[in-house]
């Protein structure tokens, strides 16, 4: 990238400079013997053109909107439109959550993101014994299409995009969403949104699995196929590193394990006979934004470049959209402290800024009180305002990839790409991500990193402001959100009413067709749509599928 003569001159100049600096270190030592990123990549004192002189600008960095997309997936990025401000929200009943959504939209939020409660995520109705204590706690309880209708009441689904954090039962919730929108008079092709639908990371990091890998992969490829023809603007999966990072991985591991999962989905879909350039443009990703500001920015850029290369070189994609890694970001919940919780507002702001400088397509900013409970409305407002401050006041959205070309950042981007690729090669040798998860390899790598990180905090090698340094005595926080345990009773009575009112003949025949499809090879989406329209509950559908597909038995490695 630079003239050879100039590089030679710089090299000898830098040697002299380094000598001089190191002589002064005795008097003025640096804070640490060595500096490292959270992924244990060494951080040099200074980066110069010498650090990136082996990079080809055209091949490795390029221009935004062009392969390999290092600088961003769109040519004009936020000069055209800001990222989608999308706060993950859901608690108690559909009615209460609907009110929160309408509040957030009034406050300038530009997309919705549904948090479901654990019974919904694991395919149990609210009246199931295992749902005791869990209904409406970490998200909204959805038992049937009736709840879905209440959840989106008076929300313009043709203008707002909806992301749903739903994995094992994603096909069922998507069917409910499509059927509910139809009732509102909105055709499937007008719908925009995302289902998370990433079951591999449920096995390795998040825990809301239901079925074993094989039928799970079949459901996922059924969704890819169905959506490409029927609901073309839908993101059929959000391949997620977020939870891998929350479970304790490093930035490099987050990229590697996420892309390895992505490779497994692409392979499964190709195996099922789908054309890569038909389904791959609708794959989307989801990353964490953690504390190490520059490493995070480099991480997004590295992930984009690496995925583009994988799609082009390994899967021979021809459609540029197949090569574009589009992603959502959430700030790191695991970095929030219960001590001096107001500090979390600032942490989140830095993390959000990193996501924007890394070119995210949408963003959730966490709330200050999440080390205690689900966020209160006031806390969510501050979190949303943080995004609006970055967008409207900071100026960083006015030029594309403003940190591109920084010697340090470009070097770190390449470093993360290289180390992630090493992991991916290793996972390939093990037979791909599903095999590596089956062996417990990915889980072990994540938990080892988590323990290392914790030990650094315990030993004071890693400072957490307000927690292991700069501590104060403080009163417990007030004004926390609390979900009424009565929510379960309310949901149960809704289920009872539904079971009395629905047409049992229609229900029976739709469930029979679903059973036949599940036992055979037909796409599950059309019979699922019929079943949810006949008001089958989520639990009933999942129970039927559990009988046919079986249940996943986790590998626990401690």
Partner 1 sequence: MVNRKIRVLVAKPGLDGHDRGAKIIAYALRDAGMEVIYTGLRQTPEQIVEAAIQEDVDVLGLSILSGAHDYLFPRIHELLKAKEVNDILIIAGGIFPEEDIPKMKAIGISEIFRPGTPTDEIVNYIKSNKPVKS
Asked if 188 and 177 touch (Cβ cutoff 8 Å), the reply is no
Residue with tokens 């769109």: 74
Helix (H, G, I), strand (E, B) or coil at 326: coil
Is 19 an interacting residue with respect to partner 1 (CB under 8 A)? no
Those residues with Cβ within 8 angstroms of residue 524's Cβ, 6 or more apart along the chain or in another chain: 171, 218, 219, 222, 514, 517, 518
Residue numbers 124-163 binding partner 1 by CB under 8 A: 124, 130-134, 137-138
122/308 with CB nearer partner 1: 122
Residue with tokens 């499809």: 517
Helix (H, G, I), strand (E, B) or coil at 116: strand
**Cα(123)–Cα(352) distance, integer angstroms:** 33
Considering just the CA atoms, what is the radius of gyration of the chain in Å? 24
Is 472 an interacting residue with respect to partner 1 (CB under 8 A)? no
* Interface region with partner 1, contact rule CB under 8 A, candidates 178-186, 376-384, 455-463, 494-502: 455-463
> How many whole angstroms from its chain centre is CA 215?
23
Is 105 an interacting residue with respect to partner 1 (CB under 8 A)? no
Is 451 an interacting residue with respect to partner 1 (CB under 8 A)? yes
3-state helix vs strand vs coil in the chain, percent to 5? 55, 10, 40
The one among 458, 474, 496, 519 contacting partner 1 by CB under 8 A: 458
* Per-residue three-class SS string for 426-467: HHHHCCCHHHHHHCCHHHHHHHHHHHHHHHHHHCCCCCCECC
Is 229 an interacting residue with respect to partner 1 (CB under 8 A)? no
Q: Which residues pair with residue 114 across a beta bridge?
A: 89, 164
Residue numbers 156-195 binding partner 1 by CB under 8 A: none
Site string for partner 1, 419-448 (x = CB under 8 A): ----------------------------x-
C-beta of 316: minimal distance to partner 1 in Å? 36
Listed residue (113, 330, 321) closest to 232, CA to CA: 321
| Helical pair 407-429 and 251-271, crossing angle rounded to 10 deg | 50
Is 337 an interacting residue with respect to partner 1 (CB under 8 A)? yes
C-beta of 248: minimal distance to partner 1 in Å? 5
Residue numbers 480-509 binding partner 1 by CB under 8 A: 480, 482-483, 485
* Interface region with partner 1, contact rule CB under 8 A, candidates 230-238, 382-390, 477-485, 490-498: 477-485
369/410 with CB nearer partner 1: 369
Handedness of CA 209, 214, 215, 216 (dihedral sign): positive
The one among 278, 334, 435, 544 contacting partner 1 by CB under 8 A: 334
C-beta of 305: minimal distance to partner 1 in Å? 29
The one among 99, 339, 388, 406 contacting partner 1 by CB under 8 A: 339
C-beta of 458: minimal distance to partner 1 in Å? 5
**Cα(64)–Cα(208) distance, integer angstroms:** 36
Contact set with partner 1 (CB under 8 A): 118-119, 121-122, 124, 130-134, 137-138, 202, 206-208, 246-248, 334, 336-339, 371-374, 447, 450-451, 454-455, 457-458, 464, 467-468, 476-477, 480, 482-483, 485, 554, 556, 558
């Amino acid at each position: 990238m630079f003239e050879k003569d100039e590089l030679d001159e710089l090299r000898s100049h830098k040697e002299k400079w380094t000598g001089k600096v190191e002589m002064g270190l005795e008097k003025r030592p640096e804070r640490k013997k060595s500096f490292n990123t959270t992924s244990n990549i060494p951080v040099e004192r200074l980066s110069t053109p010498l650090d990136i002189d082996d990079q080809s600008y055209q091949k490795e960095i390029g221009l935004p909107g062009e392969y390999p997309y290092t600088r961003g997936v769109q040519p004009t990025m936020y000069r055209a439109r800001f990222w989608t401000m999308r706060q993950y929200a859901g608690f108690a009943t559909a009615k209460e959550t609907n009110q929160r959504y309408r509040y957030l939209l009034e406050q300038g939020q530009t997309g919705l993101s549904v948090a479901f409660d654990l019974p919904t995520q694991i395919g149990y109705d609210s009246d199931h014994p295992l749902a005791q204590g869990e209904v409406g706690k970490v998200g909204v309880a959805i038992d049937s299409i009736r709840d879905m209708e209440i959840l989106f009441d008076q929300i313009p689904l043709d203008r707002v995009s909806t992301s749903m954090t739903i994995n094992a039962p994603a096909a069922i919730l998507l069917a409910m969403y499509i059927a509910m929108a139809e009732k509102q008079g909105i055709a499937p092709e007008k719908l925009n949104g995302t289902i998370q639908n990433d079951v591999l990371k449920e096995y390795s990091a998040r825990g809301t699995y239901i079925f074993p890998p094989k039928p799970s992969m079949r459901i996922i490829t059924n969704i890819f196929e169905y959506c490409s023809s029927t609901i073309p603007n839908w993101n059929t999966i959000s391949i997620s590193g977020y939870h891998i990072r929350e479970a304790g991985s490093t930035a490099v591991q987050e990229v590697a394990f996420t892309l390895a999962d992505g490779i497994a989905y692409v392979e499964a879909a190709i195996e099922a006979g789908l054309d890569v350039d038909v389904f791959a443009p609708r794959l989307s990703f989801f990353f964490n934004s953690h504390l190490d500001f520059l490493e995070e920015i480099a991480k997004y850029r590295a992930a984009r470049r690496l995925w583009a290369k994988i799609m082009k070189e390994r899967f021979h994609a021809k459609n540029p959209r197949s090569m574009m890694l589009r992603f959502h970001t959430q700030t790191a919940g695991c970095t929030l402290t219960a001590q001096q919780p107001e500090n979390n507002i600032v942490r989140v702001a830095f993390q959000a800024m990193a996501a924007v400088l890394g070119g995210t397509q949408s963003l959730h900013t966490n709330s200050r009180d999440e080390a205690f409970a689900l966020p209160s409305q006031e806390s969510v407002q501050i979190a949303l305002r943080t995004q609006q401050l970055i967008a409207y006041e900071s100026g960083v959205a006015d030029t594309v990839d403003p940190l591109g070309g920084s010697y340090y950042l470009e070097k770190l981007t390449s470093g993360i790409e290289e180390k992630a690729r090493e992991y991916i090669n290793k996972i390939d040798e093990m037979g791909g991500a599903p095999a590596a998860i089956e062996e417990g390899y990915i889980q072990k790598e994540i938990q080892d990193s988590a323990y290392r990180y914790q030990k650094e905090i315990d030993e004071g090698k890693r400072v957490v402001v307000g927690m292991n340094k700069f501590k104060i005595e403080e009163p417990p926080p007030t004004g926390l959100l609390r979900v009424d345990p009565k929510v379960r009773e309310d949901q149960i009575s809704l289920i009872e009413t539904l079971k009395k009112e629905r047409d049992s003949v229609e229900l029976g025949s739709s469930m029979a067709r679903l059973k036949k499809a599940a036992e055979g090879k037909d796409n599950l989406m059309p019979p699922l749509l019929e079943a949810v329209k006949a008001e089958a509950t989520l639990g009933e559908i999942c129970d039927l599928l559990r009988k046919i597909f079986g249940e996943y038995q986790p590998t626990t490695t401690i």
